[in-house]
Structure formats: structure tokens, C-alpha cells
Copies of this chain bind each other. A is one copy, B any other.
Amino acid sequence: MIETPYLLFLGDAPDMLAAKVAQGIRDWRPENAIGQFRMEGCKADMNLPDMTLAEAKAAGARTLVIGVANRGGVISAAWKKVLVEALEEGFDLASGLHNLLRDEPDLKAVAEATGRRLHDVRVPSVQYPIANGEKRTGKRCLAVGTDCSVGKMYTAMAMDRDMKQRGLKSSFRATGQTGILITGEGVPLDAVIADFMAGSVEWLTPGNDPDHWDMIEGQGSLFHVSYSGVTMALIHGGQPDALILSHEPTREHMRGLPGYKLPSLEMLRDTALPLARVANPACEVVGVSVNTQHMGEDEAQSYLAEVEARMGLPATDPYRFGAAKLVDALVALG
């Protein structure tokens, strides 16, 4: 578990896109983001107070989170200077970079000398069990996508926020690097060893109050040949009571796979639901989440209306138009 609140390290981000981890934290857990640390030339801005390490420390920040992608696969000398200073100032460090903090001898040595922790959220820190398939108490919701990167995490985040605003019991359960950095805990599922994937999801979503919902972050897609095994493990390890179908209508082929067309929402429903019912016979598809970022407002609204009519399910873009419809559907499930 990563200690909050955070100071967000934006480094020398060349643009906003490079700082999407910081953006996720700012959007979904603003209470975790006390300020931002920007180096010379930084082109990203989270509209948070710019702080020095000392100022952030005084304001109560516990962890410096690397909220930006690094260039060229190395942690630069300029970054290093800040990271070492942060450890000396008493911050833990947290990172989702492919280059692990722990693999940098200087960071490792300073962390040991100062008693600070290096959180590399890309690699598991837990010995997960093999899944036992036993029915757990409490409820679980999982978004499954026609493709990767269609908004499954944002859907779960938006539903979790809406649930909490209604005073309902909900926990967002992170299964990827960004989600883990946003919430401070979770399972880096794509880095888990095959035999333990479903078990890690069981571990992440343990038995809970009967009226508590886990909003599980989805990964991959049953139709994406590179990552479908990860999705399968989420469906069986998560034993969801409710599935949300997630889609991005303007995509011309599966992400990174030019020869592969996206399936229809009907195909996704008819594939995912029977598989989910292996682990939870009561599972239902309750709604559709559409990523409309590449559509105008009218186009988006008419697309959603068409989907609702065709699928007989509530459909929304939870980031753009709110998640209320999807949460209503969960509540109706009882």
C-alpha cells in the first residue's frame, strides 16, 4: 500500500499526454494530490499548486509519484537528482515505469540509507494463491471491452464515484499500473505469473458485506489475441455479478492488430456472459459504456440512443455524461 497524499512528479513532460498517470490521480483521487512538481521545460499542468519538495513535505505529502512517462526507456540524470532529493527529504517513491526504481543502484542505496520505500507497481509484491473458485460474499462488477483501451478503467472509476456519492458501499479494485497509482493499491495483473492470475483477482476482491460492490478494473479483451488470457482470468477470478460492455465506436481495428476487426457489442455480450456464468451463474450484463471522445455531442447522444434501443440496455459515456445510468442498473440488480 502506497502512503497518501502524493506530490505528483511531472518531470519534463513534453505534453499533457505524457502525464496521463498524474491526470488519472488528479481526476479520480484529487484528495490524494497535494501538489505538482515540475522541472524546467515541463509542458504538462494539472492545475495543482506547484511545490518544492520541502513545501510539499510541510503540506503533508508522503509519497512522490512519478506521474509521467519517461523518454527512451531510461531514468534521466535530471530526474534522478529530484528522486534522490525526495528520498532524502523523507518521501517514498512510487512508479509504474517499465524501468524499475529498485534496479537503479543509487535510488536503492539512498532508499535503504534513509529508510524510505520504492514502490514499483509494475511488478507484484505479493505471492498470490491459485484460484479456488469458492463463492464469495458481496457483489462485483466488471467492465469487459470489445478491445483494449476503450475506457474500462474510467468506467469502473466513474461508477465507484457515483456509488460513493449515493452513500452506497463501493471499492474500486485496480488491476493495472495507473489504477494502482491512483488508489495506492491493487494487482498488476499483466505481470502476474499465468497460474496465479485468477487467484490474484480472487485475492483482490475478497468476501465483503452483502451490499458492498467491488468495481473491478478490466484489462485487455476476450477478442484481443495478445491479452485475452488476462481478461479470461479477470472474468473467472472476479466472479462478477454484473458485466458492463465497453466500446469505442470509431476504432477501425483492434489496438495494435491491424488485421483484426472489433467485435460487435452483441458478440461481446454473447461471448463474455456464458463464460462469466461458469464462475457465477447469477451474472447479468447490466449496461453499456461507450467511449465517445472522438464523437461530437449530438453524434455521441444519438449513438448511445441507438445502442440502448438495439441492446435493450442502458448506455452512456460515463466520463462525459456521468455513470448514473449504469449505477441505477447495478442498484436495480439488488
Contacts and interface: CB of A to CB of B under 8 A. Distances in A.
Interface of A: 130-135, 189-195, 197-199, 222-223, 225-233, 235-237, 239, 254, 256-257, 259-260, 263, 271, 274-275, 278-279
A194 B193 CA distance: 6
Given A232-B232, A271-B274, A225 B195 contact: no
25 contacts: A130-B226, A131-B225, A132-B256, A133-B225, A133-B226, A134-B259, A135-B259, A191-B193, A191-B194, A192-B193, A193-B193, A194-B194, A194-B229, A194-B230, A194-B233, A195-B230, A198-B225, A225-B236, A225-B237, A225-B278, A228-B232, A229-B230, A231-B232, A232-B232, A271-B275
A168 to B, nearest CB: 27
A292 B236 CA distance: 29
Given A271-B274, A274-B271, A226 B193 contact: no
Contact of A228 (B132, B192, B198, B260): B198
Contacts of A279: 225
Given A133-B259, A232-B232, 12 more contacts: A132-B226, A132-B256, A133-B254, A135-B259, A194-B229, A195-B230, A197-B229, A198-B226, A198-B227, A222-B275, A223-B278, A228-B275
- Copies of this protein chain in the complex: 2
Given A189-B194, A194-B192, A194-B233, A226 B274 contact: no
Contact of A133 (B198, B257, B274, B275): B257
Contacts of A199: 226
Contacts of A237: 225
Interface centre among A192, A230, A231 (most CB of B within 10 A): A230
A131 B226 CA distance: 5
Interface centre among A190, A222, A225, A260 (most CB of B within 10 A): A225
A263 B279 CA distance: 12
Contacts of A236: 225-226, 228-229
Nearest to A199: B226
A62 to B, nearest CB: 30
